Amino acid sequence: MSFTYADVGATRENGFCPPGFHRLHVRTRIGEGQEVFRRASEAVLTWEMHRALGVGLDTSADRAAPDVEVTVTLAGMIKAPCRVVWTVEEHRRAGWAYGTLSGHPESGEESFVVDRTGDGTVWLTISAFSRPAKWYARAGGPATRGLQQAYARRCGVVLRKLCADLNEI
């Protein structure tokens, strides 16, 4: 399957949004310290955060890596095929992005990145650009974008819960 948009990999550039797409940027504080960063990074890179959200997830690998195929199933019936376009695993930054493939209700790219700032604070940043690809996504208009915002915020809540025991130390 091929990507449904031209700017593959563009979420590496923080804040980039091609013309005609809607931008999404949600940043959530996860906690403090190296152990929280390590735990959050693993939860993002191994799909644990996504599975804990309660969405269906079918992947061709146990860990995010370029070219890994991912299909997210929403509400038990909406299938959203994607492919990982980039990953990062650095001392203070870890995550990945996937791009939409044919059959996805939207067209665009979304990244999930955990970073640890100089003061030790751990953040999850979700950045995306998208536009409707299916009739029902177009019909949803602003409500569809609201659902995307809610999904991104929920990712942060879930990841913070997955790391909660480490934040209490």
Q: Give residue-wise pLDDT tens across range 72-106.
A: 998 788 899 999 999 999 999 999 999 999 999 99
CA–CA distances in Å: residue 70 to residues 83, 136, 142: 6, 21, 26
102 sits in which H/E element? none
Q: pTM of the entire structure?
A: 0.94
Q: What is the DSSP letter of 16?
A: -
- Extents of the domains making up the chain: 10-167
- Residue of 9, 11, 29 lying closest to 112 (CA atoms): 11
CATH topology of domain 10-167: Alpha-D-Glucose-1,6-Bisphosphate; Chain A, domain 4 (3.30.530)
* The pLDDT of residue 112: 97
Q: Residue 146: what are its φ and ψ, rounded to 5°?
A: -65, -40
**Residue 147: pLDDT band with limits 50, 70, 90:** confident
Q: Which tokens belong to 90? A: 């650095």
* The pLDDT of residue 168: 56
- Other C-beta atoms within 10 Å of 76: how many? 7
* The pLDDT of residue 124: 97
**Residue 167: pLDDT band with limits 50, 70, 90:** low
pLDDT digits (tens, 9 = 90+) for 2-58: 999 999 999 998 778 999 999 999 999 999 999 999 999 999 999 999 999 988 999
Through-space distance between the first and last CA atoms of the chain, rounded to whole angstroms: 46
- Residue of 50, 59, 67 lying closest to 9 (CA atoms): 67
